[in-house]
Amino acid sequence: MPDGMPTLAVTFEPGKTGRALITDLIAGVASPVWLTELDDQARAASLSAATALLAYDTGKELHAGEAGLLGNLRLVQFMTAGVDHIPLSQLPPHVAVANNGGAYADAMAEHALAMTLAAAKRLLIEHNALIGGAFNQFTRNRTLQGKTCGILGFGGIGIATARLMHGLGMRVHAINRSGRTEEPVDWIGTQIDLATMLRASDVLVIAAPLTRRTIGMIGAAELGLMKPDAILVNVARGELVDEAALFAHLRAHPEFFACIDAWWVEPVRHGTFRMDHPFLTLPNVIGSPHNSASVPGNFEGGLRHALANVARVLAGEPPHGLVGADERML
């Protein structure tokens, strides 16, 4: 590598195509170091000298004791948008940590829209009715035009979702940390305004990160504020919603729909898939296996987004997606 050139240590094996893309995208900015092909001694030397780190999960991809070698890093850049399952406390506290928020926003927004439409138009209910021979042509479904979509978490996913919902003629109400946005919305507030948004929402899309402040923020009281025929769509983390409270609310309000892409116990984060209540037995539930971002090109798109952030930091600019101390779960 050229003398004085910053180095980017890559903790995972990106494959031939990924290696070529990484090398191309950071050409002239940093030299990549592939940790998976190094022995322990070479890994230690590379990590001690690295300027930035690109990872999926440092808890799994770094060997014992290696996190303590990262004191010279200017950035730990994750490939994932959600980092709540990663033990960030193992990393040096002075090193900037960034998630890949917004990298998969367009695909996830489309998924949120698809689930919303499936619920509003009763697609699964009537599909199953047809299988049983029932032809419910005059059973009413719902239109979304003129209704209100509340978006909890107005980052990349929330903004992309808002644009699609506006295209349907929906009003958009949003909540973020600042209560401000340059995006066109009909109303915006902060977490203290949650009750106001819940009362107004015909559709609630949950796109907020899981932190100590957001865990369990939608419970029985919050569900009770919502319209009895509202549609709740969760593409973020299951733990933002109280599982037992949601199941009870769905059983008590058969016109209320839950569209669940993000579950409470999932294979990537927990090693298994499990639910404590039989949501999929309810007709007013639509489920998907947290695959809202699983579209062609998602790996390449995620790499481009993450490496653009690395380049920002190496150019002396502050990172996007900075994970603050109050947002670290582990």
Domain annotation covers residue 114: yes
Q: Cα separation of 285 and 249, whole Å?
A: 12
Residue found under tokens 């998907």:
288
CATH (domain of 50) = 3.40.50.720
The sign of the dihedral angle between the CA atoms of 111, 151, 78, 239 is negative
Least Cα distance to 34 among 19, 49, 44, 21 occurs for 19
Which SS3 state, helix, strand or coil, does residue 95 take? coil
pTM of the model: 0.92
Task: Give the DSSP H or E segment for 24.
Answer: helix 15-25
**pLDDT range class, residue 168, cuts 50, 70, 90:** very high
Across the chain, what does the average pLDDT equal? 95
Residues 209 and 313 in one domain: no
CA 271 to mean position of chain CA atoms? 18
What is the mean predicted confidence (pLDDT) over 231-238?
97
Spatial contact of 191 and 202, defined as CB atoms under 8 Å apart: no
What is the mean predicted confidence (pLDDT) over 148-172?
97
- β strands within the chain, DSSP E: 7-10, 31-34, 52-55, 75-78, 97-98, 148-152, 171-175, 187-189, 203-206, 231-234, 257-260, 285-287
The residues with which 33 forms a beta bridge, in sequence order, are 9
CA 20 to mean position of chain CA atoms? 27
Could you tell me the two tokens for 178?
């600042």
Position 159: which residue type? Answer: I
Which SS3 state, helix, strand or coil, does residue 147 take? coil
Domain annotation covers residue 171: yes
Spatial contact of 286 and 124, defined as CB atoms under 8 Å apart: yes
Other C-beta atoms closer than 10 Å to the C-beta of 154 total 26
Task: Give the DSSP H or E segment for 152.
Answer: strand 148-152
What is the mean predicted confidence (pLDDT) over 258-281?
96
Residues 268 and 279 in one domain: yes
What is the mean predicted confidence (pLDDT) over 299-319?
95
Residue 186 pLDDT greater than 80, yes or no: yes
* pLDDT for residue 3: 58
Residues 116 and 164 in one domain: yes
Residue 162 pLDDT greater than 70, yes or no: yes
Return the HEC string of 246-311.
Answer: HHHHHHHCCCCEEEECCCCECHHHHCCCECCCCHHHCCCEEECCCCCCCCCCHHHHHHHHHHHHHH
Residues 60 and 203 in one domain: no
* pLDDT for residue 326: 76
Domain annotation covers residue 312: yes
pLDDT for 77-103, tens place per residue?
A: 999 999 999 999 999 999 999 999 999
Domain annotation covers residue 2: no
What is the mean predicted confidence (pLDDT) over 120-148?
97
Residue 52 pLDDT greater than 60, yes or no: yes
**Counted domains in the chain:** 2
- Full domain range(s) for residue 60: 7-102+297-327
Cα angle at 42 between 41 and 46, to 5 degrees? 120
Residues 190 and 96 in one domain: no
Residue 2 pLDDT greater than 60, yes or no: no
Residues 124 and 213 in one domain: yes
